[in-house]
Amino acid sequence: MKSYEVNFDGLVGPTHNYGGLSYGNVASQSNSQQSSNPKEAALQGLAKMKALMEMGFQQGVLAPQERPDVAGLRSLGFSGTDAQVIEQAARQAMPLLVASCSASSMWVANAATVSPSADTADGRVHFTAANLNCKYHRSIEHPTTSRVLGAMFADQKHFAHHAALPAVAQFGDEGAANHTRFCREYGEAGVEFFVFGRSAFDTRYPAPQKYPARQTLEASQAVARLHGLSDDGVVYAQQNPSVIDQGVFHNDVIAVGNGEALFYHEDAFLDTEQMLAELSAKLAKRGGQFKAICVPRDQVSVEDAVRSYLFNSQLLSRADGSMLLIVPQECQNNPRVWQYLQELTSSGGLIREVKVFDLKQSMQNGGGPACLRLRVALNETELAAVNPGVIMTPPLYGTLTQWVDKHYRDRMTESDLADPQLLLECRTALDELTQILKLGAVYPFQIN
């Protein structure tokens, strides 16, 4: 049976802004308070989806969330009408309003961890929504994420959904941003690679000194158990704590894998040799041949990797077995990274082509091409069971660009977030979107 990697991209929501909310994420911190352009952000994301669809890849779309999160503000003690809740929050606790308005759900690599059916004990595709426990603005995503994923992958014969892990730092889980899967074919059993930043309970693992390590070993292990993965098909590795302290807040900022290949920076991991040997041995048992592509620090420094987001790229398989790298424009703007990419693609190795995308609106908050997509490997039968409303087609692309043009503002600053009209605009837009994507009622304003 045929199988595919389907990329579901997060549609940027209408409140996209630069709130400076993510300590440890260099771009989020350095662009704090700049004015944003939500319309441009959404169109940049849609252009990437369209391009991948036109290249022949399976492409889907994941809906944004209801923001401002009025229900969340109510749970923090603000009261009255919805407009009064927003007005009180703006007056008394602006940082809470900003956090409640973040469009961070666009970075769907953090929405969930997904294990394809070939890897799981019950032969279904398993999803665990990420608790994103490290930051308030992200911790409020998982209830709606679960409803949206449930509406997209509704058929229980093929899809199993798990609620987010307990919402404490010991089980900090950031979803697929720290999870990669190696396999020969997408439909064959593979090796799932979980990268963690620290251990919550075992003091033998070092931790970063400056910035938080968001993903714990214990969270990764819990997800592997929930998904029914076998020990033969799982490898755990620790991120190098010193790169976290240089702004690598997720593993997908310093490594990306696809098929049998891992493309990574020399300084990405601890105990790299042992990790590579384990990946290689376990993939060999599954009939695959592991290929490690290491980027040396003397060619690309960690700082250049963080600034350019070289590794936050999408590594895609082409029909001839070679691979294509989808990178953000910031890679082209960095002479050392661009030089490296020229050498890489002309060396006759596995990665033969680079395609550049302008995702500046998202990049300025630390979200590159890979952050904007959630990968779901599906066989033909499973793909046919996905809600067809969320699969990208030329007509859907047309409808969504018109929808963005109609509902989105082209400028947003902190003071705009206090405008009660924004909430009405967002709800009107999202109500229409649930009809376009055939999701049913998934947002708090539609349910309560």
Give 163's DSSP letter: P
In the complex, least distance from residue 115 CB atom to ligand SUG, rounded to whole angstroms: 18
Please choose, from the candidates 307, 357, 422, 328, the residue with its C-alpha nearest in 3D space to the C-alpha of residue 38.
422
Does 141 interact with ligand SUG (rule: CB under 6 A)? no
- Which region, judged by CB under 6 A, interacts with ligand SUG, from 12-20, 152-160, 240-248, 342-350? 12-20
Q: Which of 101, 371, 407, 414 is catalytic?
A: 371
Check binding of 65 to ligand SUG (CB under 6 A). Answer: no
Whose CA is closest to 108, among 343, 368, 322? 368
Which of the following is catalytic: 250, 331, 407, 426?
Answer: 250
Buried b (16+ CB within 10 A) or exposed e, 79-92: eeebeebbbbbbee
Instruction: Based on the shown chain and the rule CB under 6 A, indicate whether residue 28 belongs to the binding site for ligand SUG.
Output: yes
Please report, as residue ranges, which positions from 149 to 178 form the binding site for ligand SUG (by CB under 6 A). Answer: 177
Q: Which stretch binds ligand SUG (CB under 6 A): 2-10, 22-30, 321-329, 411-419?
A: 22-30
**Phi, psi angles (nearest 5°) of residue 179:** -140, 130
Annotated catalytic, 371?
A: yes
Confirm or reject binding of residue 106 to ligand SUG (CB under 6 A): no
Distances (CA, A) of 300 to 143, 151, 238, 307, 310: 39, 42, 21, 11, 9
Identify which of 45, 67, 65 has the alpha carbon closest to the alpha carbon of residue 433: 65
Interface with ligand SUG by CB under 6 A: which range of 161-169, 193-201, 267-275, 362-370? 362-370
- The strand pair at 314-317 and 234-238 is best described as unpaired
The least distance separating ligand SUG from the CB of residue 402, rounded to whole angstroms, comes to: 27
H or E element in which residue 357 lies: strand 351-357
Catalytic residue among 40, 66, 174, 414: 174
110 lies in the site for ligand SUG, by CB under 6 A = yes
CB of 268 to ligand SUG, least distance (A): 14
| Environment class of 225 (CB within 10 Å of its CB; exposed 0-12, middle 13-18, buried 19+) | exposed
Site for ligand SUG in 216-255 (CB under 6 A): 249-250, 252-253
User: Any idea which residue has 């997408």 for tokens?
Assistant: 186
Beta strands in 74-158 (DSSP E): 112-115, 125-129
Closer residue to ligand SUG, CB minimum distance, 33 or 339: 33
Angle at the Cα of 225 (from 223 to 231), degrees rounded to 5? 115
Stretch that binds ligand SUG, among 150-158, 237-245, 360-368, 419-427 (CB under 6 A): 360-368
Binding residue (CB under 6 A) for ligand SUG from 367, 408, 412, 439:
367
- How many angstroms separate the CA atoms of 104 and 10, rounded? 10
* Residue with Cβ nearer ligand SUG (70 or 253): 253
Q: Which is nearer to ligand SUG, 22 or 144 (CB)?
A: 22
CB of 175 to ligand SUG, least distance (A): 8
21 forms part of the interface with ligand SUG (CB under 6 A): yes
The CB-side HSE value for 106 (13 A sphere, CA atoms) comes to: 29
Q: Which of 365, 390, 400, 404 binds ligand SUG (CB under 6 A)?
A: 365
Sign of CA dihedral 283, 171, 23, 197: negative
Residue 236 token pair: 């755990």
* Least distance to ligand SUG, CB of residue 251, Å: 9
Cβ contact 313:370 at 8 Å: yes
Among residues 22 and 117, whose Cβ is nearest to ligand SUG? 22
250 is catalytic: yes
179 binds ligand SUG (CB under 6 A): no
The answer to whether 272 touches 173, Cβ cutoff 8 Å, is no
Look up residue 349 and give its DSSP letter: S
Residues 273 and 329: beta-carbon distance below 8 Å? no
User: Interface mask (CB under 6 A) for ligand SUG, residues 368-407, using x and -?
Assistant: ---x------------------------------------
Residue 286, number of CB atoms within 10 A of its CB = 18
Q: In the complex with ligand SUG, which residue's Cβ is closer, 233 or 367?
A: 367
Among 15, 25, 199, 314, binds ligand SUG (CB under 6 A): 25
Q: Using the rule CB under 6 A, which residue among 124, 126, 138, 142 binds ligand SUG? A: 138
364 lines the binding site for ligand SUG (CB under 6 A): no
> Of these, 57, 107, 194, 311, which contacts ligand SUG (CB under 6 A)?
107
Coil, helix or strand at residue 87: helix
- DSSP letter, residue 429: H
Binding site for ligand SUG (CB under 6 A): 18-22, 25, 28, 102, 104, 107, 109-110, 138, 177, 249-250, 252-253, 365-367, 371
| Active site amino acids | 174, 250, 371
